[in-house]
Structure 1
Amino acid sequence: MTTRTDDAVPARETLPFGPLEIAFDSRLLRPRAWTAAQSSWVAELLPGAPAGPVLELCSGAGHIGLLAVLDADRDLVCVDVNPAAAERTRENALAAGLGDRVETRCAPIASALHEDERFAAVVADPPWVPAAETGRFPEDPLLAIDGGVDGLTVARECVAAIGRHLLTGGSAVLQLGTTAQVAQLEHLVAAYDGLGVVEVRTFERGVLARLTR
């Protein structure tokens, strides 16, 4: 469904994402149905995770994190550098009945988190398309897909945040484009005490890697 607005405001669209109805617009990446697998994986891990909130990095419209915590008694912190992401995430959290459990932070990853903050689980969906290849996706906003020269600039920031803020016994599920990209990050993952990649799941549109401590 698309709602027409004046020229100054992007048209608001909605899409089903699992049981949720997610609002977004052209400033954000259109939610992909397959990424509900990322939400489901995190949701499966939460019952065995330590006490604490969930962190979503590069949250976009917030749909992946919202679905992950929908049936869990966990707070959710959503981080994205795009002001439109914070706006739509707040809207979607309220629509899902999660407004009192969701905090949005509009800031770069490195400055969005307090030094002493710790999270039971992390869900991250960074842009992972190499900069030279972003022209293949003209319908997608550049901010949401441009991962720098090798596609991993923001993914490295996500790994650093996971390494610093994931609780012992917790898990992170990171979305990337290929298993080769996961392999490129493994040395960085291993640089953080007790952190490692323990499983990778491959899908038609991308891959999910589980990191644990």
Structure 2
Amino acid sequence: MTGPDPASVLGGARLLPVLTVPSTATAGPLADALAAGGARCAEVTFRTPGAERVLKEMAAHGGLTLGAGTVLTPEQAERAVAAGARFVVSPGFDEEVVAKCRELGVPVVPGIATATELMRALRAGLDTVKLFPAEPLGGLSTLRALAAPFPGTRFVPTGGIDADRVAAYLAHPAVLAVGGSWMATPAHLARGAYDEIRRLTADAVDRSTP
């Protein structure tokens, strides 16, 4: 059983803003800024106490397809989907998280860092994985090395990627989308820099468009 295809939910979006949102008060303006910049999807990480409320408020915006990131347990996956997540992203491969996401009927993109982890994900019936942390692992050279012996695998590289690197990653045929946090950092949110978030998102969308 392979479960829902992440590509069907991402809807062709090539860019995945990865959001760590310290305050729920920023959820609405953040969703507005991302959508105004042309983003179609976003990942809200479960790294803050208010992540579920942020996810729920951003999902209610209607202009974005929201997923949950940094999901470490089946229970977190359940809470994320209840809050409006339409896909789940994990930093590593965990069989129980994958099984729970299939039970919930949502796509899951587990993180891998090695060929061994990728083989475990493939054996579990998945064909889309997150390469994490992409840049510290060696960036594009590592992605190319992993993609070569595993044709048909799709990657969502995330971790240390910035605006200057996004187009090079997306040029690789095995890359489904690129995740990054540079468009909307906690520092941007702390100072209410929503115009800057919109500008950085628009620039990233432009760089990710063939």
Q: TM-score, normalised by structure 2?
A: 0.36
Per chain length, whose mean CA-contact separation is higher, i.e. which structure has more relative contact order (CA < 8 Å, sep 6+)? 2
Q: Which has the higher strand share?
A: 1
- Normalised to the residue count of structure 1, the TM-score between the two structures is 0.36
- Quick check: which one's helix share is greater? 2
